[in-house]
């Protein structure tokens, strides 16, 4: 079982990441444009990290976590289209956000399964002694 301090630290780091994601999504872009559609990888990575690091204490259901992350991506894309920052809403960016959210949940699930598998091997090895 993770300690309370560890859980709080994890939640705090995730909260700071979430706030940074929102802020930098709505500020004018300071990154020079790369090859066409190269920003989709940044969207994919940003939302993969967001959902992979998502604390279990906040929205325990993976389906709800996915909907929250993907919904945030859609809302932020709409915000980019509304705010006068020189940025534009892009449906393909919202799709990349949703794909990233799905990938992050998959990675989180796989990591949890690997931890549980490792715990099972440790306890099964002790039973024979």
Q: What is the pLDDT of residues 29-49, one digit of tens each?
A: 877 777 888 889 999 999 999
| pLDDT value at residue 124 | 61
How many angstroms separate the CA atoms of 90 and 37, rounded? 11
CA-closest candidate to residue 101, choices 66, 55, 57? 66
Instruction: Count CB atoms within 10 A of the CB of residue 79.
Output: 15
Of 97 and 119, which is predicted with more confidence?
Answer: 97
The answer to whether residue 90 is domain-embedded is yes
In a domain? residue 129:
no
Q: Report if residue 71 sits inside a domain.
A: yes
CB 58 within 8 A of CB 110: no
- Which residue range forms the structural domain that includes residue 64? 4-27+38-124
Structural domain count of the chain: 1
Instruction: Supply the pLDDT for residue 29.
Output: 81
| Residue 69: inside a domain | yes
pLDDT at 105: 95
Residue 81 in any domain: the answer is yes
Decide if 32 is inside a domain.
no
């Amino acid at each position: 079982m993770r300690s309370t301090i560890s859980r709080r630290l994890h939640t705090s780091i995730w909260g700071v990441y979430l706030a940074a994601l929102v802020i930098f999504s709505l500020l004018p872009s300071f990154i020079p444009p790369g090859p066409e559609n190269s920003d989709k990888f940044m969207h994919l990575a940003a939302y993969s990290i967001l959902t992979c690091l998502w604390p279990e204490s906040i929205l325990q259901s993976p389906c709800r976590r996915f909907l929250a992350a993907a919904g945030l991506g859609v809302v932020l894309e709409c915000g980019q289209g509304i705010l006068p920052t020189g940025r534009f809403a892009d449906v393909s960016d919202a799709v990349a956000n949703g794909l990233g959210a799905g990938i992050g949940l998959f990675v989180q699930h796989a990591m949890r399964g690997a931890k549980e598998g490792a715990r099972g091997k440790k306890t099964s090895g002790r039973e024979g002694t």
